[in-house]
Amino acid sequence: MENLTFDLAQTKVSALNSYLHRQSGESGGQKITVINPDGAHNIAVGLDSPVEVEVIGHAGYYAGGMNKTGKVIIKGSAGTGVGENMMSGVVHVQGFASNGAGASAHGGLLIIDGDAGLRCGISLKGGDIVVGGSVGSFSAFMAQAGRMVICGDAGDALGDSLYEAVLYVKGNIKSLGADAQIEALTDADISALTDLLQQSGLNHDPKSFKKVASRRELYHWNADANQEY
């Protein structure tokens, strides 16, 4: 199938997404190149086929959102909500990501080569997020399932109100959020880290990471806690 190029200086994002949606189920193996994105919002949202979309430049809000089976490569940085609510496939940001990266992701793999902003992985529901740099405050807030690998530092309140998601941090953690704690790495953690780092093209020693998981003290209402946790 012929590879296509969309020039967003000449074509609207809606036309790009309409093409990608119409090709659902028919575009397996096709590669779409997007040039001159200039920070446009909603690039390659709602993919539902194994198509590859390569964005040459910076993307705006929600790039690769609701992705299912597609592969989105952003050769630049991405705005708020990149990979938001993705179901499967891969979204790879080769620069930096703004706030809320990977929010509510149910599956798939989000790779961010640089740093990510506030609330990375908020309400994560099963996807994997690998950040080559650092993440901002309140990352993994209310993360329910899935895994997050942070190769740099983490800001305040990491993993606040964490459920069953597991976080791995190589650098410094400014502070942990409510109900989050550091645990010892297990062999299963080492294996998971090795796999995720390899998939993301990162070369780090898995044993150099700290594991953050839930204490599970917020699972049940405690009438004696006096609103203090």
Q: What radius of gyration, in Å, describes the C-alpha atoms of the chain? A: 18
Distance CA 143, CA 121 (A): 7
Would you place residue 219 in the very low, low, confident or very high pLDDT band (cuts 50, 70, 90)?
Answer: confident
Q: What is the CATH number of the domain that holds 50?
A: 2.160.20.60
Convert the pLDDT of each residue in 44-80 to its tens digit.
Answer: 999 999 999 999 999 999 999 999 999 999 999 999 9
In a domain, 228, yes or no: no
In a domain, 221, yes or no: no
Convert the pLDDT of each residue in 179-209 to its tens digit.
Answer: 999 999 999 999 999 999 999 999 999 999 9
**Residue 99 CA: distances (Å) to CA of 80, 109, 120, 135, 151:** 5, 17, 6, 9, 17
Convert the pLDDT of each residue in 126-156 to its tens digit.
Answer: 999 999 999 999 999 999 999 999 999 999 9
Domain that holds residue 135: 4-214
In a domain, 224, yes or no: no
Distance CA 169, CA 154 (A): 7
In a domain, 229, yes or no: no
Count the domains in the chain. 1
